[in-house]
Chain A
Amino acid sequence: MKVELASVEDDFDQLAQQMGKIMDEMLERNFVRFRWTQQWRPSVNLYEADDRYVVCVDLAGMDHRRIEIHVENQKLTISGTRPGPRPGQAQGEIRVRMMEIDEGPFSRELALASDVDPTRIAARYCKGYLWIDLPRSSG
């Protein structure tokens, strides 16, 4: 039996949140959002192939050494802390006019499908994306 790799849904799945927001605005309903932890959640793509799953995490501006990936109990956790961007070339006092990029500690958990071989998981960081290879155990 094959179980799909699915993301662990918590209350702040961004896309769902966005959709929900659109719906709520249309229906004129709202409520004050709530987040218990101070960590933010990076966005994720998930691909499925015959021999593997591939996860891509949007994590620009990271030092790859400071990204932590843990696998335990069929659960994949990506965490770390992203430093805020600093405009290095600017002179004098800097004022922020817009701020939409998340910074600080982040964390993302994904549930693994049962056929993922946890021993062969590999990850690499390239051009701001974190790629995680999840090979499927043959048979």
Chain B
Amino acid sequence: MADDDTVDLTREQQVEQDDSEQEQPVATVLGGRPEGPPEHVSIPDELPILPLRDSVAFPGTIMPLAVGREKSRQLIDSVLTGNKIVGLVAQRFSETEDPGLGDLYRVGTAVMILRLLKMPDGTQSIVVHGLSRFGLESLIRAEPFMVGKANVREDRVEPSTELEALVHNCRHAAGRVIELSPNVADDAKIVLTNIEEPGALADFLAANLSIGLVHKQELLETFDVTDRLRKVHAALATQLEVLELSDKLQTQVKEQIGESQRQYYLREQLKVIQKELGQLDQQDAEVQHLKEQIAKAKMPESVQEAAEREVARLSKIPTASPEYSVAMDYVDWLCRVPWSVSTEDQLDIARAERVLDHDHYGLEKVKKRIMQFLAVRKLKPHGRGPILCFVGPPGVGKTSLGQSIARAMGRKFIRMSLGGMRDEADIRGHRRTYIGSLPGRIVQDIVKAGANNPVFMLDEVDKIGADFRGDPAAALLEVLDPQQNYSFTDHYLDVPLDLSRVMFIATANYIDPVIPALQDRMELIELPGYTEQDKLHIARRYLVPRQLSEHGLTAKDLRIEDGALLRIIEGYTREAGVRNLERQIAGVCRAVAVQVARGKRRAARVTARTVSRYLGLDRFEPETASRTSVPGVATGLAFSPAGGMIIFVEATRMPGKGGLILTGQIGDVMRESAQAAFSLVRSRSEKLGVHIEKLASCDIHIHVPAGAVPKDGPSAGVAMLAALVSLCSERPVRSDVAMTGEVTLRGLVLPVGGIKEKVLAAERAGISTVILPQRNKNDLAEVPKEARDKLTFVLASRVEDVLKAAIEPPAPIGAGRKKKTRSRATGKATRKVKAKAK
């Protein structure tokens, strides 16, 4: 075909064109164009008939047609050299390959061929312009292509109001259809408004309506314009209804998902913008950050798997979801646990000893145990940590001892107070399913410490509570068992955490309330109360310097002499620990601080005599002497969480029938031991020098002040016996003697607990002689030497021994004098237990 395109410019052609190169004037006519009928192409009676598949051509429309069939090619070849007018008639069935007259509709459209196009794939297309309708009357010939006898049909137009209305309505409806149809070009609307002829309008719309071939053909065959418009209008209305309905549906759906979609789009856009700016989007950044954290945390394999699983889940959850932050927090916690971070133990025993000695006075037993622990650690670095439990009265330094241990070992120190804790979840955490759940305190504190081998102090383990939320003590069982705690599982973390490298230290004032299973897991170390000498040392070395600095004073401003300190210890405090002592020293410091602040230059010197200027009158005085001057009062020794103390047992009698009244908030055990003592007195009245008749005609009342403080235990048995005997024999009990021990009906004195504390309490109270059960002899070894030196001990195995030592002698009693133990003041014959106790 390329040959056809090439123009062969021959000589003759150029010559022919010469004259046209000259300018030729063209007449312009001012004024109206001569009105004549528009040049209409006349349609011949004989028309080549081109069958159409699946479409109908309407007058006025311009449409492309593919020319495929050989017959059609020949037809077009023939027509294009002539008048280019063809009759288009639709086939009834598109499958018919070579249609005859019977296969065609009988009304078609005469068209002018405007263009013959060669398509890129080599096929031919024609563009035709519809001219007018025609009726196909008959075929003139069928070969090589059909030629038919055509009868041109003009539109029948009868102007009427209905026609006008139809034109208007059709335009309006068509306008709406164009608006609603997404696949109709907008300029169709311009065409629509420019067509004035009703018939042409109907044809334009008919050509563009999406209706079937049969309907289109029907419209083609409707020559009456009003009728045609009516049909077009009906079809338009149907189409419009469908479009409007689907539009409405779409709008509804859009409204429903509009808002969330809008947010989604905005977020996606934000992501893209952030990416463009070189920032990862927030979620990616967070996930990335977590991954780095996980890599850094050096977790055990199983934990790392759990963490990575959670992160993988995290990247799929939208950030707005509440689960996102839960998962996020969880992984964050996992990363913060010091899985493989530990402090290096300082196993220099000499240094540790120095640290402990520097921080604490005395407490040799505890220090020795800590040294042992360190020594073992040194020999076997990965042994299981022991669990120590310091038991002792308040203020003796249990907590600060824990701190010293941590310092001595170079470990982190964690203190967790269990006092009042009543929820198991405090220890073990909440499950992650709960909103606001957190790991338990153990994990939290270890995370806070940032090392997996801290010294972990469980303070006040005896004050743990329990209620319906579970028993924290039971949860502690797992924590404190060296056999189990290498895989402690917190409910929140849900992965095992090795606690075996943690050194647990528990403290308690009193071991009895601690459940036996827990007691069993711990190594108890008792911290006794301090003696006066201990307190003096502590005050000098620790309390005074600390209080001076806390009050902004220097040693130049204030000097507290030892005598003054002793006076404060004896007269102003009564305690096992040193808290009150420190408070009193602080009181002295405050008073001096006022003077210094007023501008007084001279250094203050506090002596035993001037203490009262600073602290007022003595709060305490040795009570024993004044109170035991009457028969019926004996001094007992008691043991409480606050340390040992002296108690008084008062007995009196009144006319009655031999009854026994017990008061003073005493518990069942103490009540029974009082009854035992009473029965003993009655059964042995002869031996004890008591008149049985007197007992029968009166009631005895035993009272143990202070009445508001609950007391219990069997150890006051001997004191009650002494009080009863003293009352009945009308001989007072010696005021400087204190006693402890359980009595039996056979008259035996049974051993009791807390000897050390009781002895220290007796010493504090100004007692000179202490009566103890014989079988408690070994306990004396624990009593500090100074206390032993100051006191005289009487070891009693039977009640007679007690009474001999306790009751004033004037009235003679039956037992021999040889065995009587005298006070230290009486001289060499005193049976000093000191040597034996050692």
Contact = CB atoms under 8 A, between A and B. Distances in A.
A122 interface: yes
Contacts, number: 146
A32 interface: yes
Given A28-B183, A98-B116, A123 B28 contact: yes
A89 B12 CA distance: 10
B26 A100 contact: no
A31 B208 contact: yes
Contacts of B27: 69, 123
Given A32-B61, A69-B29, A127-B20, A100 B187 contact: no
A97 B29 contact: no
Contacts of A102: 114
A34 B195 contact: yes
A48 interface: no
Interface stretch (B30-38, B427-435, B707-715): B30-38
A11 B190 contact: yes
A36 B197 contact: yes
Nearest to A69: B28
B160 interface: no
B181 to A, nearest CB: 8
A64 B25 CA distance: 8
A137 B22 CA distance: 29
A35 B60 contact: yes
Interface string B159-178: 00000000000000000000
B681 to A, nearest CB: 119
Given A32-B63, A35-B62, A121-B28, A126 B116 contact: no
A96 interface: yes
Given A28-B183, A32-B207, A100-B117, A68 B24 contact: no
Interface in A116-139: 118-119, 121-128, 130, 132
Contacts of A123: 25-28
B60 A36 contact: yes
Contact of B24 (A95, A118, A126): A126
Q: From DSSP, what is the main secondary structure of chain B's interface residues?
A: mixed
Contacts of B195: 34, 36
A72 B41 contact: no
Contacts of B208: 31-32
Contacts of A99: 80, 113, 115-116
A10 B41 CA distance: 22
B4 A97 contact: yes
A15 interface: no
Contacts of B183: 27-30
Residue of B39, B129, B194 with highest tally of chain A CB at under 10 A: B39
B334 to A, nearest CB: 54
Nearest to B58: A32
Contacts of B185: 20, 23-24, 27, 29-31
B211 interface: no
Contacts of B23: 124-126
A33 to B, nearest CB: 4
A83 interface: no
Given A69-B26, A119-B30, A123-B25, A96 B116 contact: yes
Contacts of A71: 28-31
A38 B21 contact: no
A34 B28 contact: no
Contacts of B28: 69-71, 121-123, 132
Contacts of A24: 185
B483 interface: no
Contacts of B116: 96-100
A99 B117 CA distance: 7
A95 B81 contact: yes
Interface string B181-202: 0111101101100110100100
B33 A96 contact: no
A91 interface: no
B38 A37 contact: yes
Q: From DSSP, what is the main secondary structure of chain A's interface residues?
A: mixed
B204 to A, nearest CB: 5
A38 B41 contact: yes
A79 B21 CA distance: 22
Q: How large is the interface on A (under 10, 10 to 19, 20 to 34, 35 or more residues)?
A: 35 or more
Contacts of B30: 70-72, 118-119, 121
Interface in B1-56: 1, 4, 10, 20-33, 38-41
A96 B29 contact: no
A94 interface: yes
B80 A38 contact: no
Residue of A32, A38, A104 with highest tally of chain B CB at under 10 A: A32
B131 interface: yes
Contacts of B20: 127-128
B10 A33 contact: no
Contacts of A113: none
Residue of B10, B183, B197 with highest tally of chain A CB at under 10 A: B183
A30 B188 CA distance: 9
Contacts of A126: 21-24
A32 B58 CA distance: 10
Residue of B38, B81, B187 with highest tally of chain A CB at under 10 A: B187
A57 to B, nearest CB: 10
Contacts of B719: none
B187 A20 contact: yes
A20 B187 CA distance: 8
B613 interface: no
A124 B24 contact: yes
Nearest to A64: B24
B77 interface: yes
Contact of A38 (B25, B39, B77): B39
A74 interface: no
A39 interface: yes
Nearest to A130: B26
Interface in B541-586: none
Contacts of A127: 20-21
Contact of B31 (A70, A81, A104): A70
Nearest to A72: B32
B77 A95 contact: yes
A123 B23 CA distance: 10
B219 interface: no
A128 to B, nearest CB: 8
A89 B24 contact: no
Nearest to B203: A34
Contact of B207 (A34, A77, A104): A34
A68 B33 contact: yes
B112 interface: yes
B118 interface: yes
Nearest to A37: B38
29 contacts: A11-B187, A27-B185, A30-B185, A31-B191, A32-B58, A32-B204, A33-B63, A34-B191, A36-B60, A36-B197, A38-B41, A38-B131, A39-B39, A64-B26, A70-B31, A70-B33, A71-B28, A96-B77, A96-B116, A99-B80, A99-B115, A118-B30, A123-B25, A123-B28, A125-B25, A126-B21, A128-B20, A130-B26, A132-B28
In the A-B complex, list the 10 residue pairs whose CB atoms are closest, starting with the nearest: A99-B116, A96-B80, A29-B183, A123-B26, A69-B28, A32-B207, A33-B62, A64-B24, A70-B33, A105-B39
Interface of A: 10-11, 16, 20, 23-24, 27-40, 64, 67-72, 77, 79, 81, 89, 94-100, 102, 104-105, 118-119, 121-128, 130, 132
Given A20-B187, A27-B185, A72-B30, 17 more contacts: A31-B208, A32-B63, A33-B61, A33-B62, A36-B200, A38-B39, A64-B25, A69-B26, A69-B28, A70-B29, A70-B31, A94-B81, A95-B80, A96-B76, A98-B116, A99-B116, A127-B21
